[in-house]
A and B are shown apart, each in its own frame.
Chain A
């Protein structure tokens, strides 16, 4: 057991150091990622200026900006750049063999690498994020209270787990199809639209809203922001998080199953 923890710790440490090599590029990249927010602010200000009322589906011209900023935070937890395509590439190029030989679990290793990646990301991105959130402080409603804030943090962490296992499952499909780029693209499009990254899901007319509400994608961006902005009634708060946990468990099991089934199918040639 101790040896095992030590192995994991070493892997985590190596991944951390590897990540820190490009910290300058990282920080600049993060700051640039806020640029689209600038156009969003102008666009929504223009929309609200000519809209019939002061609010659209419960959003004011301020909270909508807060919404976009919060989804960026949510995405900082739930988005997994390169995870699925990385797994697919390893399968295609046969690099996956090393996980069959070495006493390391593929998903466990990837999870640690991802945690290291995210930890570095948060330390480097904290500056740019703090700056932008400070500058945009006026767009935010007053602090929602400890209970909601706790739920918000939990939803961010669950979002990370959900994002990881969902995308890992997508990548593992490569055992069957080898080339999954187009599948991933479709997923990305779908995700952008249905996770609430593009606009608050409340804007969707029925029956689409109910439909999207049943999908796990909303937990990746919409849900944390909705919690913070008080869009989720307090009595539904913990129930919602419970459903999210259910989805996380589902995708943990699915990714495990896909990995093992994939290993059984896999045949590696050459070296």
Chain B
């Protein structure tokens, strides 16, 4: 008999919420501090846009939509997967993974979704506000029904790609025993995804862009949904690889491939797990 995955997940989510609500002040502080981080980021770009009308074709409010997309994707990843991936390397080190393996449920599901960090969802609402603020201020802005459908869909695809990369990285801690610089690495890799892909040009930029689009697909994570919403028609420069229609198709493939690849890595890593004597 199979356990109800949805039921188990809802229980996890509820338990995490109860736990978060036990320390309410701490919860509030976490929400506020991650918000202030994003507000500083916005301040930085407001400053930059005082000196320039656009960055590689991204006007100020189009870029704000880009930032809002970054916030949507990151807050979802941080809420659902980040604390769990972090814990996985700790579970491996202490041998606590034994208990996860014994449970009659898929191990990847269990270790990926055990905790929900509700406070990270604070930024999700900031992103909504930012989106509502920025969208009508884009020049000649029109909203089509397919944009409203595709945008959340591709935000979700982005979350899944990032999840795959994260769980792949976390799974390496099974081989390495412990992976301290995991989060540094994560930070530096995803750092590339936080900018419009058009800025990577020139003899160094092109290969970099291609590598981060087609080898490790982190550039499509935010660029594709942001383009769908903010600039669905004008795709100047960069040729075919910057056309969102092509990229959107590719993203479907990339998401499926990353999920399958990360699943394969995870299983392979589990196969060589040797329990720490506890």
A residues at B contact (CB < 8 Å)? 25, 28-29, 32, 35-36, 38-39, 42-43, 45-52, 56-57, 182, 185-186, 189, 192-193, 198-199, 203-205
Contacts and interface: CB of A to CB of B under 8 A. Distances in A.
A32 B180 contact: no
A32 B188 contact: yes
Interface in B184-214: 184-185, 188, 191-192, 194-195, 198-202, 205, 208
Contacts of A43: 55, 195, 199
Contact of A50 (B36, B37, B56): B56
Given A42-B205, A47-B51, A57-B51, 9 more contacts: A36-B191, A42-B200, A43-B55, A46-B56, A46-B198, A50-B55, A186-B33, A192-B40, A203-B51
A204 B33 contact: no
A42 B52 contact: no
A47 B49 CA distance: 9
Contact of B184 (A32, A47, A51, A192): A32
Interface residues of B, number: 33
B36 A189 contact: yes
B33 A182 contact: yes
Contacts of B29: 182
B188 A36 contact: yes
B199 A45 contact: yes
Contacts of B55: 43, 46-47, 50
Contacts, number: 74
Q: Which residue, of A51, A52, A204, A205, has the highest number of chain B Cβ atoms within 10 A?
A: A51
B47 interface: yes
Nearest to B57: A50
A264 to B, nearest CB: 28
Contacts of A57: 51
Given A46-B199, A52-B52, A193-B40, A39 B47 contact: no
Contacts of B40: 189, 192-193, 198
B192 A39 contact: yes
A66 B191 CA distance: 20
Contacts of A205: 50
Q: Which residue, of A36, A42, A47, A199, has the highest number of chain B Cβ atoms within 10 A?
A: A42
B54 interface: yes
Given A32-B188, A39-B191, A47 B180 contact: no
Contacts of B200: 42
B44 interface: yes
A210 to B, nearest CB: 16
B48 interface: yes
A29 B200 CA distance: 24
A189 B51 CA distance: 24
B188 A47 contact: no
Contacts of A52: 51-52
Contact of A42 (B36, B180, B181, B195): B195
B253 to A, nearest CB: 25
Contact of B53 (A36, A50, A56, A199): A50
Contacts of B192: 38-39
A159 B25 CA distance: 35
A35 B33 contact: no
Contacts of B54: 50
A95 to B, nearest CB: 22
B241 to A, nearest CB: 16
A49 B191 CA distance: 22
B43 interface: yes
Interface string B12-56: 000000000000001001000100110010011001101111111
Contacts of A182: 26, 29, 33
Nearest to B194: A39
B33 A47 contact: no
> Lowest 3 CB-CB distances: which A-B pairs, in order?
A51-B52, A46-B199, A35-B188
27 contacts: A28-B181, A29-B181, A29-B184, A32-B181, A32-B184, A32-B188, A36-B188, A39-B192, A42-B200, A42-B201, A43-B55, A43-B199, A46-B56, A46-B198, A47-B48, A47-B51, A49-B56, A50-B52, A50-B54, A51-B52, A56-B51, A182-B33, A185-B33, A186-B36, A198-B40, A198-B44, A199-B47
